Chains A and B, each alone.
Chain A
């Protein structure tokens, strides 16, 4: 068990291509941290620097109170699970699990005990004499996991371990992984590009883009209070809707104005936020709201006291999901929005319908891909 501390970590390839910049993170002992971001954001590179598979160009990586920048991977007391599992094809499952222990000259009895224990934990005892090519994808994934577990390392490193599994197995294994972590309590760093995986697995998630950390927080905090438009757009499915406009004032209340079809009264009860909004009056801004912050009924939270939260949209496509439906709509300005609303039969496609927004769950961003959140910044 160990904490992992990254200080100003940076990676530059061939003296010109920058992959990671100014990465600062304190991972607590036993914590499950997920690095998430689009491909090429530097999440895997960071993980590989922690593993020792890439040189660290700048900054320091500290595992269990020891700076490991120049420590060989085998001496960092880590274990890694690779996307394609990287099982040794000519070795049996038993040997795959035992290999690292054998190289460390562990007594045979101890090896047998540890492999047996891990195999039992993962339910692969009956596979120990098989070769990897005689295993299914899910079984290989377990063996790869087992190879990490038998080492009893201080830190687990996972590099997209579920992305080679089919959708159903992925969800099942995800739950098992979380269960496993709750039993072993080993510090875990997990890399994925799948925001759902990140949300479900992480104690905290680290959202990255272009080699930089955008936000570090618990999944729900990141979801509720995204630091900027990038994070807001990256997390959540279907993604957040964005509408361009400006802030105007109606009496004492700030109002978001999007063309001539949207006038949304913003909640500005917190004094700091009100002042912030006032400062941005008249400037171009972006309103963001998740699909589930829309409804076709003005009731409950969709009926704020002052009203002024309606928007008329032309529906184009209706996708039923079961208890919910996703409705693709078009604004009068031709922009596409998605609403996720309670399912009902015969929802009309190709008509103009009035939707209502939940003003407590809208965000206002400054323009640009990384425009900061000014209505609901992280606490």
Chain B
């Protein structure tokens, strides 16, 4: 040891100083300052170089306005939007786990020869299919300027029929080619190819991705609706062919079946009710599962019940980002797509590679099926990973959503989240910095509380 304890402490602090200084000046300072700001009426429209009104300390007024005062309508609405958009989190986590399981599955070792064969066949099939699709969909020779007919389709009125048809044909060929390339690439490079592919959205800048999806979601001419339109037309046609009672009977049948399944689940749970907390938890799990089943069945049944009525007017694909009903689901779908192959998938892959293979072998000899091996080995072994992912995703979900609202819908009300609300109050309109700071601290309190709840529940789960 060199020098006294005090001297060594000073040396250590000197080494830490650059980082410490940065943290104090750029993180801790502003955070504390914003806490102070949240108790003032600081607004740039009132307090600026043209006015001499002093910033006033208003106590908890900002918080009161948010939670039950004049701003509470906005606040709770946007809070609701934030929570709604968080539906994507469990879906995304399940998707990440699914992808990780797929990528982790051992592929049968193919020799180099048969691999080359597979890739060759895949490429050949792709080429032939692309040519076939092109032959089937490509419009005839381009019309002269005089014979060109305007398409007249909504949103595409300035294009000729020929131009619309050619664009659709090109899109179909492109989709075919991408599909073939994915299959061939997977054959050639195995899971590394898919791992890279799935991770790609995380490498690209978020806003670029959002703009891409905005194009996909365009109500007319967007790829998604271009694909949905023929499908919906076919469903409309098919629906009109069958009498209404068939659909209503189907709806009743589906719901009846699901209700029976849910009932059996609960009844079985009650019959095998174990003792103590574990037994109660198991029963609770069964009831939750039955409820989910019932809700899903109810949804499908409603659609079946009404589809005939809808089809009478012709089924139209939704105006995704514009229609208030579909804006949030559209954002959720996009969010899941962007995130499903990213960090969470990598965490799950790492978690999976840490599961001792002997556990699977022991379970296999014990007679566990694939699903039972997942339930009794993989899932418990991944509990710490899932715990971490849930916590991080919940925090991210409560904080996030600003870019989506800004880029995708230009801040349409139904997609506004708390982060967007904060931005809007602080940097637009009345520039109410005090109120915006209060929003930030309410968000912090919610995230903090949520994380504590997660920790309590999670440590029970993972310590087992």
Contacts and interface: CB of A to CB of B under 8 A. Distances in A.
A34 B368 CA distance: 28
A53 interface: yes
A297 interface: no
5 closest cross-chain pairs (CB), A and B: A100-B366, A86-B358, A74-B367, A86-B362, A90-B380
Given A15-B111, A86-B359, A88-B359, A103 B364 contact: no
Given A84-B356, A86-B359, A100-B366, 16 more contacts: A14-B109, A52-B365, A53-B365, A73-B365, A74-B368, A80-B362, A82-B362, A84-B358, A88-B376, A88-B377, A90-B380, A91-B376, A103-B366, A103-B367, A103-B372, A151-B366
Contacts, number: 63
B367 A100 contact: yes
B313 interface: no
Contact of A80 (B356, B361, B377, B383): B361
A103 B368 contact: yes
Interface string A31-62: 00000000000000000000111000000000
A99 B359 CA distance: 13
A190 to B, nearest CB: 16
B145 interface: no
Contact of A53 (B361, B366, B380, B381): B361
A272 interface: no
Contacts of B376: 88, 91, 99
A85 to B, nearest CB: 8
Contacts of B358: 82-84, 86
Interface in A269-326: none
Nearest to A53: B361
Interface string B376-394: 1100110100000000000
Interface residues of A, number: 26
B380 A79 contact: no
Interface residues of B, number: 20
Interface string B352-364: 0000101101111
30 contacts: A14-B109, A15-B109, A51-B365, A52-B365, A53-B361, A53-B364, A53-B365, A74-B365, A74-B367, A74-B368, A78-B365, A80-B362, A82-B362, A83-B358, A84-B358, A86-B358, A86-B359, A88-B362, A88-B377, A88-B380, A89-B381, A90-B464, A91-B376, A99-B376, A100-B366, A100-B367, A103-B367, A103-B368, A104-B367, A147-B366
A99 B362 CA distance: 10
Interface of A: 14-15, 51-53, 72-74, 78-80, 82-84, 86, 88-91, 99-100, 103-104, 131, 147, 151
A74 B364 contact: yes
A309 B380 CA distance: 67
What DSSP secondary structure best describes chain B's contact surface? helix
B367 A86 contact: no
B29 to A, nearest CB: 44
A216 to B, nearest CB: 26
A53 B383 CA distance: 26
Q: Which of A52, A79, A90, A103 has the most CB of B within 10 A?
A: A90
A76 B387 CA distance: 38
Contact of A73 (B109, B364, B380, B383): B364
Interface in B100-147: 109, 111
A72 B361 CA distance: 11
A86 B356 contact: yes
A325 B168 CA distance: 91
Nearest to A151: B366
Contacts of A51: 361, 365
Nearest to B377: A88
Contacts of B367: 74, 100, 103-104
Q: Which of B356, B365, B372, B377 has the most CB of A within 10 A?
A: B365
A74 B366 contact: yes
Nearest to B379: A90
Contacts of B362: 80, 82, 86, 88, 147
B380 to A, nearest CB: 4
Contacts of A15: 109, 111
A79 B361 CA distance: 11
Contacts of A88: 359, 362-363, 376-377, 380
A213 B363 CA distance: 30
Given A14-B109, A86-B358, A80 B464 contact: no
A89 B364 CA distance: 16
Contact of A86 (B109, B111, B361, B383): B361
Interface string B325-363: 000000000000000000000000000000010110111
B377 A79 contact: no
Contacts of B356: 84, 86
Contacts of B464: 90, 131
Q: Which of B361, B372, B380, B464 has the most CB of A within 10 A?
A: B361
A14 B368 CA distance: 27
A90 B356 CA distance: 14
A14 B358 CA distance: 21
B361 A82 contact: yes
Q: Which of B362, B372, B376, B377 has the most CB of A within 10 A?
A: B362
Contacts of B359: 86, 88
A99 B366 contact: yes
Contacts of B361: 51, 53, 73, 80, 82, 86
Contact of B365 (A79, A83, A90, A91): A79
B204 to A, nearest CB: 37
Contacts of A86: 356, 358-359, 361-362
B373 to A, nearest CB: 10
A62 to B, nearest CB: 18
B365 A80 contact: yes
B450 to A, nearest CB: 25
A88 B367 CA distance: 14
A131 B380 CA distance: 13
Contacts of B364: 52-53, 72-74
A89 B380 contact: yes
A33 to B, nearest CB: 19
A78 B365 CA distance: 8
A190 B377 CA distance: 26
Nearest to B464: A90
A124 B338 CA distance: 51
Q: Which of B366, B376, B464 has the most CB of A within 10 A?
A: B366
B265 to A, nearest CB: 18
Contacts of A90: 380, 383, 464
A72 to B, nearest CB: 8
Nearest to B111: A15
Contacts of A83: 358
A80 B381 CA distance: 21
A90 B368 CA distance: 16
A15 B112 CA distance: 11
A82 B366 CA distance: 13
Nearest to A48: B361
A243 B382 CA distance: 57
A103 B383 CA distance: 22
A54 B246 CA distance: 52
Contacts of A103: 366-368, 372
A193 to B, nearest CB: 18
